[in-house]
Amino acid sequence: MKKVLFVASEGVPFIKTGGLADVVGSLPKYLDKRYFDVRVILPKYACMKQEMKDKLNYVTHFYMDYNWQNVYVGIFEAKVDGVQYYFIDNEFYWSGPKVYNDDPRYEIERYTYFCKAVLSALPVIDFRPDLIHCHDWQTGLIPVYLHERFAGGEFYRGIKTVLTIHNLKFQGKWDVKTVKDITGLPDYYFTPDKLESYKDANLLKGGIVFADAITTVSDTYAEEIKMPFYGEGLDGLLRARSGSLRGIVNGIDYTDFDPTTDPFIAKKYDAKNFRKEKVKNKKALQEELGLAVDEKKMMIGIVSRLTDQKGLDLIAYIMDELCQDNVQIVVLGSGEERYENMFRHFDWKYADKVSANIYYSDPLSHKIYAACDAYLMPSLFEPCGLSQLIALHYGTIPIVRETGGLKDTVVPYNEYENTGTGFSFVNYNAHEMLRTIRYAEQIYYDRRREWNKMIDRAMAVDFSWKVSANKYQEMYDWLIG
């Protein structure tokens, strides 16, 4: 039995702010329990929902030297969906009202504490993993500490590490002097070939240098981050480590997202009866949101954080032109004020065509995936992206920019070969996007049989966690031997 420990700053069902939590919560469930004993360690945040807190049981506590003092480390545990979870408890570090804090120095201090506490806790919970699977910069110091202060002990010898980069933009950077002080690492580690990066200390960089393998969440993103545009200052290092770098696309949990069982949608449907049934969701959503009720009108959905990364400057640029077309646009999400106000403006200007829902609602997101004909996702960069995978499963045709996971998961429509599961454009250009949307409109209105065949292909693709889990298992086997 191979033992694998997941370490991350968030994981469903306990705590979630983004896609990282879905991976940490879903992947362990799908790894083959006959060969892998997989456990997960998370921080015990005070902002966790009460119903999840009620599942936690106190195990023990100890004190460790950290940041020049003797610090409390509590250990709690819970078992959910057959997976064993542990939680590192310390009220000073985890008591805030939200998961992440706006003070980068404090973030570095609390996640450095987390990394050290996780490694110190392993003998206490009597679990010696063959491999520790670290996620994002918050766990970047685990490979470093394993190399440095935990390397001498018999217990830790030979433990392998994998670091998964979910989004390279976030790296955990602060000045060298402070980070040296907090981490207790010697000067040896703060050189340009280790943690030092452009005069600062960089925790993610430390993880990339010392981990045995590095993964990211799609093949294309793994290639893109070796280039300056996507590399966020670490492209040189990622090129140097390209032999240890691979991309594995995330899956989605088809128990949560399934049009045949979805409790939130007006009319359930499947790959056989969508031609009749899917449209009933559109009419229900048009009524609910006060749009013109017309089942023949093409409806385009956007469920997103409203930020630059998601390509919203492109949408803002052509929104007026797009609203001249025979389409409806439904938006759900919140984020930067200028994009929130832009969508509110077009909702006011084209009330029967545009519905701007500037908040987040899980039930409404499901209704949008089920009701829309097309789903727009023109990201500037997208490590993996989950929305396009959900849209495909609901038979809602994605219109995407060819970047990262979007390029790997959406096959562009080819009218000559009758292939493809969506529409895509290459350059980050608003009118190239608009042309692609209008091409999709043309197929939708003038070649309806072709459109429906595209839905057949989209709904047949398997992006469940089973497929991704097999690829992770291969990598674990390769590393552990």
Counting the structural domains of the chain, the total is: 2
Q: Considering the domain boundaries, does residue 260 fall inside one? A: no
Residue 151, pLDDT score: 80
What is the extent of the structural domain holding 335?
A: 274-462
Compute the distance between CA of residue 287 and CA of residue 463 in angstroms, rounded to an integer. 32
- 130 and 107 both lie in a single domain: yes
Backbone angles phi, psi at 33, to 5 degrees: -65, -15
Residue-wise DSSP of 221-234: HHHHTTSHHHHTT-
Residue 314 sits in the same domain as residue 431: yes
User: Does residue 49 share a domain with residue 117?
Assistant: yes
263 in a domain, yes or no?
no
Same domain, 103 and 159: yes
In the predicted structure, residue 152 carries a pLDDT above the cut 80: no
Look up residue 144 and give its amino acid: V
Examine the domain organization and report whether 280 and 411 are in the same domain.
yes
Instruction: Check whether 67 has a pLDDT greater than 90.
Output: no
Inform me whether the pLDDT recorded for 351 exceeds 80: yes
Whole-Å CA distances, 396 to 91, 143, 285, 332, 410: 44, 41, 14, 16, 12
In a domain, 262, yes or no: no
Residues 181 and 302 occupy one common structural domain: no
Asked whether residue 261 is assigned to any structural domain, the reply reads no
Q: 40, 28 in Cβ contact below 8 A? A: yes
Q: What is the mean pLDDT of residues 140-163?
A: 93
CA angle 393, 397, 399 (to 5 degrees): 125
> Do 163 and 19 fall into the same domain?
yes
* Rounded to 5°, angle at Cα 259 from 251 and 362: 75
CB 179 within 8 A of CB 206: no
Q: How confident is the model at residue 253 (pLDDT cuts 50, 70, 90)?
A: confident
Query: Rounded to two decimals, what is the model's pTM?
Result: 0.91
> What is residue 149's predicted lDDT score, i.e. its pLDDT?
86
Residue 135 belongs to some domain of the structure: yes
Angle at 438 between CA 435 and CA 440, to 5 degrees: 115
pLDDT tops 90 at residue 481: no
Residue 256 lies in a domain: no
Average pLDDT for the chain: 96
CATH code for the domain in which residue 104 is found: 3.40.50.2000
